[in-house]
Amino acid sequence: MKRSLQSSYDIGNKLLYLICILPICLFVIAFSLSLPINDKRIEFPWLDSKLDFAISYFVDNERSDFEYFSFKATGFGKKGRLGGNIKLSKTHVMNVKSESSKLYLKASSKAFYNGYSWYDNDNQLTQLGVSNNNYSMQINQDAEEFINGIYIETGMNQNDKIFKPSKAEIEFVNLKTKSIFAPLKVNNINFRNFQTLFVDNEQIISSSGKQQKGFSYSLEYNNLILNSDEFKNILRRSEKGYYRKLLNSYIKDDLANSALEILKQNKPLYIDMESFPIDNKIVSESNLVTNRIDWEPVNISKKRILETKELSDLIIKADEIYKRYTQIPYFIPQRVSQLAHDLTKDFDNNYDKAKAIETYLSSTYKYTLSPGNIPRDRDFVDYFLFEGKKGYCTYYASAMAIMLRCIGIPARYVEGYVMPPLATNGVYKVTNEQAHAWVEVYFEGFGWIPFEPTASYVSRMYYDTTITSQSYDDTMRNSGYSSYLEYLEMMERNKNNSNISYDNSESNTVVDNTTNNVLFVLIIIAIVIGIILLTFISLVSLNTIKSYLKIRRIKKAEPNTAVLLAYNYILKILKTQNISYYPGETPNQFGLRVEKRLDFKGYSYNKTDFIKISSHYVAARYSKTLLTIHEQEAMLEFISTLLSITYERMGKLKYIITRYVLGKL
C-alpha cells in the first residue's frame, strides 16, 4: 500500500512539472521563431524605451512630461477631440509666487475650430532676439498696445483703476516641457540662465529645449482690473475701425494746422478735393480750381503717442486679426449664430456684447466633470448649447469663442493654468487640477482681453482673493463669489473621493492543511491561472514584437517596396473596421470613399489623408516612378494616424484585445 501511494505521488509530480514547463517552452520556441535572421546583433529600441519609461516612472511617477503644453496632457479630454468624462490629475507641476490670486498663465492658444477640436494650420516658430537672459521689448507688443490705448483715451500711462504693474515668479516642479507659462500683457521675462526663446503665430512663448524640475523665471506684467468701471468704460470705446478713425483724426489735425499756417501768411489756400483729407495734399499753386476755406485753430482731441506709420501698421495688424479670429466652419448650425445675435442685439459695443455672452454661459449651463461623450456626428459647441447643456471649461470657452465669432468679434481659445484657492507664504502650489481653458477677445486699440465664461470660475477671474479690505468684503457678498466657494467645495469633494482608503484585511479562512484533496484542487487552479496568464503574456509579447518587426521592415525597405508593404498593412487595419475594397473598385475610388468615412485629413489637422496614400500606392504598384523617402515617411505617419483613429473607434479594451491578443493590427 505504501509503495502504491509513493508511485502515484511520483507520477503526479512529473505531470505537474510538465504542465508548468510546457507554456514556457512554447513561449521560448515561438519567440525564437519570430526573430529575424540577421548577422547583426539583435536590438529592440522599443524595449529600451519602455524600460527607460518604467525606471523614470518609479523614480518620479507624478511628472508631467510633454513637448508643448496642451489640455489633454494634463488629463482633460481625449486625444484629438474635445469633451468627454475626465478625471482630475493631482500632479504638482509648478510653484508660483504672485502678488495676485487671479493670475492666469497661458501656454496654448488655437485659432481654428473644426467642429470637434481647436487647432493651428501653421506651427511656425519665430526666434526672439537674444539679450542675455532678459526678454522685454520683443514680447510686450500686446502690453504696449494696451498702454498706448489707455494713454490715447485718458492722457495717462498709469491708472490704478484700470491696471496695476505686477510681478510673478514661476518654478517648475514635476513638469518637463518647452512651454513658457505667462499671463497676458507681459512686459518682460527674466531667466536665471541663458535661454533661447521662440514665439508662435498665437504669441505663445517656448524655449529651444525641454525645461524640467528646478527651472525658474520671473516676469513683470500689467494686472488688469477687469471689474472696475473705468476699465469697462475704456473698452466700450473700442470698435472695428478704431485705428482708422484715429489715423483720420491725426491727418485732419495735420491738415488744419498746415492750412492755418498758409492762411496766416495771407496766401490763398488750394486743396485737391479728390484726395482730401486722406492724402494730406495741401498746395498753394494757382493752377488748380480751388475753394477758399476759413480755418479756425484746431484742438487735437486725442493725446498723440503714435506716429502715422505706427498707426498704419496697427491698422494692418487689426485687419489680420479680424480675418483670422472671426473664422467659423461653414457647417456650424444656424441656431448657434442666432443665439449669439439674440443675446447681444440690445448692445452697441463689443465689450457689452462679450459680457452678455459670458454671463449667459456662466449662469445657464451646469459645470460637471462627467458630461458624457459628444456624438461623433455632432458639432461640439452646438451640442453643448442646445442638448448637453453641461460640461467643464473647454465646453464654455469653445462656445463663447464661436458665438463671438458669429457676431464678428475676434476671439480665441486659450489653455493654461489658474492659481489654486490658497497660497502658503505667497506661493501657490499649482497642480494639474488647476489646468483650465478660457477666452481672449480682441478690442481694437487695446489688444487682447481675457474673459471667463465657465460657471464657478467667474469670480476667480474678476475678484482677487488676496485683497482683504472691508469694502472688498462688502462687494464680494453680492458678486457671485459664493459660486466660486461652491466650486472649491466641489474640488475638495473630488479630492476626498479620490483618496478613499479601503480595508484590504482578509477574513480569517480556516483551511484544513490535512486535506490533500483541497490542496490538490488549489494547485490545479493555480496552474490553470498560471497557464492562462502565461499564454496571455506570451501572446501580448509575440504580437507586440510582430508589430514592431512589421514597422521596422517598412522603415528598412527601399521606398517603393516600403509603400507596398505599408499599404497592405493599412488594408489589414481597415479590415478590422469592416472596411475593404468593393468588387471592381480602383485604389483611388477606395481612397476617396475611406477618406470621406474616416476624415483622416481633419483628424491629423491637414497633415495626411487617404487619397494621397492611395496615390502613393498606385505610383509604387503600377508605374516606373522611383518614390522617395518622403512618400515612405508619409505612409508611416498615416499608419500612426490610422491606429489612433482605430483606438478611438474600437475603445480601449477591444483595441487591446484585437491588437495584442488576436494580433490583427
The whole-number pLDDT of residue 500 equals 34
Instruction: Give residues with Cβ within 8 angstroms of 620, minimum separation 6.
Output: 559, 560, 561, 563, 564, 567, 627, 631
Report the mean per-residue pLDDT for the chain: 77
Q: 444 or 526: which carries more pLDDT confidence?
A: 444
CA angle 521, 524, 527 (to 5 degrees): 150
Half-sphere exposure of 447 (CA within 13 A, CB side): 19
**pLDDT for res 246:** 84
pLDDT 10s digits, 149-177: 888 888 887 778 899 999 999 999 988 88
- What pLDDT, on a 0 to 100 scale, did the predictor assign at position 478? 40
- Mean pLDDT calculated for residue range 220-240: 92
Minimum mean pLDDT range among 31-40, 86-95, 283-292, 408-417: 283-292
pLDDT at 477 > cutoff 60: no
- Per-residue pLDDT band for 28 (boundaries 50, 70, 90) equals low
| All domains of the chain in start order, with CATH | 68-99+122-234 (no CATH), 242-305 (no CATH), 331-427+437-468+476-495 (3.10.620.30), 557-661 (no CATH)
Q: How do residues 295-318 score in pLDDT, each as one tens digit?
A: 344 444 445 556 667 788 888 999
Q: Tell me, what's the pLDDT at 136?
A: 55
Q: Positive or negative, the Cα torsion across 637, 642, 643, 645?
A: positive
What percent of the chain has pLDDT above 90?
32
> Lowest-pLDDT range, 249-258, 467-476, 635-644?
467-476
pLDDT digits (tens, 9 = 90+) for 556-572: 999 999 999 999 999 99
Query: Would you call 211 helix, strand, or coil by DSSP?
Result: strand
pLDDT digits (tens, 9 = 90+) for 388-413: 999 999 999 999 999 999 999 999 99
Distance linking the first and last C-alpha atoms of the chain = 58
Whole-number Å distance between alpha carbons of 320 and 322: 5
What pLDDT is attached to residue 331? 92
Percent of the chain with pLDDT over 70: 70
